[in-house]
Amino acid sequence: MKQVLLFGAGRSATALIDYLLANAAKETWFVTVVDADIKLARSKVGNSSSGNAVSFDINNEAERKKHIGESDIVISLLPPALHTVVAKSCIELNKNLLTASYIEDEIRNLIPKYRDEIENRNLLFLCEMGLDPGIDHMSAMKIIDRIHTEGGKVISFRSHCGGLVAPESDDNPWHYKISWNSRNILLAGKSGAHYRENEKEIFLKYEELFRTDRLVEIPGLGYLCWYPNRDSLSYAPLYGLNDAKTFIRTTLRHPDFMYGWKNVIEMKLTDETPQYETDGKVLSQFFKEHMDRNGFSDWVSKKLSERFDQTKELLEKLMQLAETENEAQETGQPLENEFMMVDEKGGLQNLDLEEIKTNAAAVVAHKMHEANLTLKQLFFLGMDDDETKIDKGFCSAADVMQLALEKKLALMPEDKDMIVMLHEIESEVSGQKSEVRSMLIVKGEDGLRTAMAKTVGLPLGIAVKLILNGTIKLTGLHIPTKKEIYEPVLKELEEQGIRFKEEITSLS
């Protein structure tokens, strides 16, 4: 009987554990789930005779090596910083390792030292085997390899993915609920971004990421915003796209989330410097102390006054235009219906009078929405909350924000989350240019069996099966960009209801 060892029973583990236990009898597996919270691990394993729950400190070397030594394959859903601890023991004890996380520098640096030994022992370390990263790699490479097989080249590559709240459960001003690690959400983007667009290499700082003018249309859902992910260009050679004029990997969010998170960053609420004593304090006290300390009461006033001043100016101009129209009608004088204006790029454009009025009215409505949204979002996170206690000792603003997010943006038991992934790939084959739009939308069942857990966990579970039954024979350190991995995994994902819809549009 093959022994499968899983470290971590948190949010993303539910579907994975269900899959492993459901396949255990047929595949002759026994599944051991390790988590610091034994009650959580037991709740995920349930009454299955094909698995058990165990709890110990991952830093306990004797316990760790005992369980890894008894296993045939190891999966780590631990926080990324702890993957190295598991990886070292897997190398020492000759065990394959799978993770859903980005390949961290520690693991990258660990491999060269043991590369020959890993190859000689036929070990496989398969990382980035979840959703994003994971399904994004596999689904993109399926299209890219097809284009290359046809003798074509990829001109532009844009890959978007977001873990969102389903429309039917969207009931807060952030248009977001937490379906995965809250700390990762809080710190997303802190390392900035590096990508290529129209042959120009672009580096962005954290403060520049969260803008509301980077939009992509998702059929049936409207427009979502995107911000660029980490170092996109590190994946260009892995995808065989060093020559692509555009190469961007992004995260999707609702436009209101992007607006609000930019405010959160400006208010230094993601600062990780310990400077607040929080025992006995409630959220409203923290917000007042933080805003007073950093002068953010003035910041809020300025934010609101800017919006109101812009709105007032536009309304005045609209009123003047209406008065001019009335005067022209009363006197019988003709009124120009078209105007020439200089656009943002310095070119001249004709604008219809009605279009001008419509656009101005839209801007007024948007500015009023932003002014209202600023306060709504801050109050929703607890700026006036006199009940939620912090009690985190001496900590940072980021620590308190994490607590606020977990309390205020929690996915309730009856809520549904949603995964949206979209690849936009422009290519040229035999002189003909076209664009592939490949889209995936997955909704969760409830607050436990989420779309996030399904799309992170199933690729890992399927890979475990394919490795143990000998379908995947690779050795070394890999992410799932090779056909040997992505073809069988994507095939079974389709059987599990995770299917992409593809549209091809001619650009020639």
Give the model's pLDDT for residue 326: 60
Domain limits at 164?
135-256+412-449+499-506
| Residue-level pLDDT at 329 | 58
What percentage of the chain has pLDDT greater than the value 90? 69
Question: For 210, phi and psi rounded to 5 degrees?
Answer: -90, 85
From 419, 392, 195, select the one nearest 274 (Cα to Cα).
392
Burial 44-56 (b: 16+ CB within 10 A, else e): bbeebebbebbbe
- pLDDT tops 70 at residue 304: no
Same domain, 305 and 397: yes
Task: Write the CATH number for 189.
Answer: 3.30.360.10
pLDDT value at position 181? Answer: 80
Burial of residue 8 (CB within 10 Å: 0-12, 13-18, 19+) is buried
94 and 172 fall within a common domain: no
Alpha-carbon distance 115 to 68, whole Å?
A: 20
Specify the number of domains making up the chain.
3
In a domain, 486, yes or no: no
Identify which of 337, 330, 331, 342 has the alpha carbon closest to the alpha carbon of residue 354: 337
- pLDDT tens-digit map of 256-266: 999 999 989 98
Tens digits of residue pLDDT in 436-479? 999 999 999 999 899 999 999 999 999 999 999 999 999 988 99
Position 351 pLDDT exceeds 50: no
Residue 68 to residue 426: CA distance in whole angstroms: 45
pLDDT digits (tens, 9 = 90+) for 414-442: 999 999 999 999 999 988 999 999 999 99
Instruction: Reply yes or no on whether the pLDDT at 327 is more than 90.
Output: no
Helix, strand, coil shares of the chain as percentages rounded to 5? 45, 25, 30
Output the CA torsion 138→140→145→147 (10° steps).
160
Cα–Cα distance, 288 to 294 (Å, whole number): 10
H or E stretch at 54:
strand 51-54
Residues 329 and 370 in one domain: yes
In a domain, 97, yes or no: yes
- Which range is least confidently modeled, 52-66, 302-316, 336-350, 477-491? 336-350
Residues 401 and 416 in one domain: no
Identify the burial level of 129 via C-beta atoms within 10 angstroms of its C-beta, where 0-12 means exposed, 13-18 middle and 19 or more buried: buried
> Does residue 297 contact residue 291 with C-beta atoms inside 8 Å?
yes
Model confidence pLDDT, tens digit, residues 48-101: 999 999 999 999 999 999 999 999 999 999 987 788 889 889 999 999 999 998
- 44 and 153 inside one domain: no
pTM of the prediction? Answer: 0.84
The CA distance from 378 to 297, in Å, is 12
Across the beta sheet with 2-7, what order do the strands follow? 51-54, 29-34, 2-7, 73-76, 96-99, 124-126, 476-478
* Residue at 168 is within a domain: yes
Same domain, 67 and 164: no
pLDDT tens for each residue of 14-37 = 999 999 999 998 999 999 999 999
Same domain, 338 and 318: yes
